Amino acid sequence: MNLFSLNDLKALQGEAASDPAYDFARKQSRNQLVWLHERIYSEVRARRWDLYFRPEWSFSPTQVTAECPTIHALTLRYTKAETVVRLMQKQFGGMMPHWDELAWLGIGLDGRGVFIELTIPASARLDAQNFYNKLTQGAPEKRTLRQILAELGGEGALTLRREGTEVLRVRCARLVDLNVLNTTLGKFEPGVHDWQIAIRFLVTDPRLATNVAPDELTYHLAQLYGLYQFAVWSPRNNYLDRAREQSTSEIAPS
């Protein structure tokens, strides 16, 4: 038996996504994400990844409310440690970033199926700018990014969105080509676009059978974690201060 069924998708499609009558169905689907979390998170901690569960945030809502009138996806999200967030606030000033203002890595279900996703939302301005600045350093950084993308094979795809509207979609396999990567980066504006890389599965995929799904999804999380480490700000991956010392903000040539 698989983790999810085709019936589970209905509560996230069309008018049902805004119908409180489907709240219970969505809660049942989220219970499967809870089941996954209980099996995956121990492995995340064992590997000492800089990814943490936040009880008040990590699971997205299942109930239609005035604040959340439509639910097209259910997600289990992990992000950086609170100590790192406090360091960001201390070093760059401003308000303490909310969890929605950070890059995250997670697993979810939407009307199309199951996905594993790295998201750098437009609201995650520091993480997005850090990623962008790192790629201005020159050829070695781009080469590393292309190697990470190549490891995703044909399953990963990048989507850029602006205020919820898709503006670009490209397979990660194509981004291994330097010209395609440069063209894509030229369209990415930190703080304006959501940068999302996802690996998708049909709910009927045999890799999502309950006896193998945790290991399969952990494997793909590990693939995207390499990109997460490469992109997001941390004391050991700080490209915000370096950018202040440079006079140019253009994407560096290959």
Q: Which of 191, 196, 193 is nearest to 125 (CA)?
A: 191
Looking at per-residue pLDDT, the higher value among 243 and 104 belongs to: 104
Q: Is residue 251 part of a domain?
A: no
Confidence at 242, pLDDT banded by 50, 70, 90? low
Q: Is residue 16 part of a domain?
A: yes
Segment 3-42, tens digit of pLDDT: 999 999 999 999 999 999 999 999 999 999 999 999 999 9
Q: Is residue 252 part of a domain?
A: no
CB distance 159 to 196 below 8 Å:
yes
Looking at per-residue pLDDT, the higher value among 37 and 96 belongs to: 37
pLDDT at position 106 over 70: yes
pLDDT at position 244 over 90: no
Amino acid 253: pLDDT: 44
Instruction: Please provide residue 203's backbone torsions phi and psi, each rounded to the nearest 5 degrees.
Output: -65, -20
pLDDT at position 194 over 50: yes
Question: What is the side-by-side order of every strand in the sheet holding 104-110?
Answer: 73-78, 104-110, 113-120, 194-201, 156-162, 165-171
Q: Is residue 218 part of a domain?
A: yes
Q: Is residue 254 part of a domain?
A: no
- What are the start-end ranges of the E strands in the chain? 73-78, 104-110, 113-120, 156-162, 165-171, 194-201
Number of domains in the chain: 1
Segment 45-95, tens digit of pLDDT: 999 999 999 999 999 999 999 999 999 999 999 999 999 999 999 999 888
Amino acid at 146: R
Question: Mean pLDDT, to the nearest integer, of 181-190?
Answer: 95
Residue 110: give its domain's CATH number. Answer: 3.30.930
CB distance 88 to 233 below 8 Å:
yes
Residue labelled with tokens 């100590």 = 83
Residues in Cβ contact with 249 at an 8 Å cutoff, skipping those fewer than 6 apart: 133, 136, 243
Q: Nearest 5 degrees, angle CA 94-CA 98-CA 103?
A: 105
Question: Which residue intervals of 23-74 are DSSP H helices?
Answer: 23-46
Range of the domain at 14: 6-244
Q: Is residue 250 part of a domain?
A: no
Q: Is residue 89 part of a domain?
A: yes
Q: Is residue 1 part of a domain?
A: no
- Mean pLDDT, the chain, integer: 93
**Tokens representing residue 252 in the block:** 């560096």
pLDDT at position 185 over 60: yes
